[in-house]
């Protein structure tokens, strides 16, 4: 079946540091890929997405590129802020199985001033 593997956390960075959270996946066909974010006390919300190979999703300074050759969708941000502290989930949606979604276990990011 499909699976998503995220780098283990927690990750602690200083403000303005560079962020990378690794995500790799296993899936048949060509899934859509997502990053969701969960801020403290809030529900999950979509951060960015990519629907085909070599697509780059971007939002709020975050970016991720759909790499089919390495089955990866790593999340990056050039300069993190304290307000970026949250849990980040990588996910895929199958394009062959009624859009069934599979999530990674999440990576907790803490940004210190």
| Residue/partner pairs of 104-107 with CB below 8 Å, 24 or more apart | 104/4, 104/5, 104/6, 104/23, 105/6, 106/6, 106/9, 106/38, 107/6, 107/7, 107/8, 107/9, 107/10, 107/11, 107/21
Q: Cβ closer to other proteins: 19 or 37?
A: 37
Q: Cβ closer to other proteins: 43 or 113?
A: 43
82 contributes a contact to other proteins by CB under 8 A: no
46 contributes a contact to other proteins by CB under 8 A: yes
In whole angstroms, how close is the CB of 27 to other proteins at the nearest point? 14
Which of 75, 91, 109, 111 contacts other proteins by CB under 8 A? 91
Q: Which of the 8 DSSP states describes residue 71?
A: T
Question: Is the Cα dihedral 24, 27, 32, 35 positive or negative?
Answer: negative
105 contributes a contact to other proteins by CB under 8 A: yes
- Give the binding site for other proteins (CB under 8 A): 4, 32, 34, 36, 42-46, 49, 51, 89, 91, 93, 95, 97-106
């Amino acid at each position: 079946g499909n699976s998503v593997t995220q780098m283990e956390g927690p990750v602690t960075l200083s403000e303005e540091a560079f962020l990378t959270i690794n995500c790799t996946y296993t899936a048949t066909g060509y899934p859509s890929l997502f990053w969701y974010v969960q801020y403290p006390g809030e529900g999950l919300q979509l951060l960015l997405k990519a629907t085909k190979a070599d697509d780059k999703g971007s939002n709020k300074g975050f970016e991720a590129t759909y790499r089919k050759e390495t089955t990866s969708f790593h999340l990056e941000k050039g300069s993190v802020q304290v307000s970026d502290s949250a849990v980040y989930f990588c996910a895929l949606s199958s394009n062959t199985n009624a859009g069934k979604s599979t999530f990674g276990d999440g990576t907790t990011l803490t940004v210190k001033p």
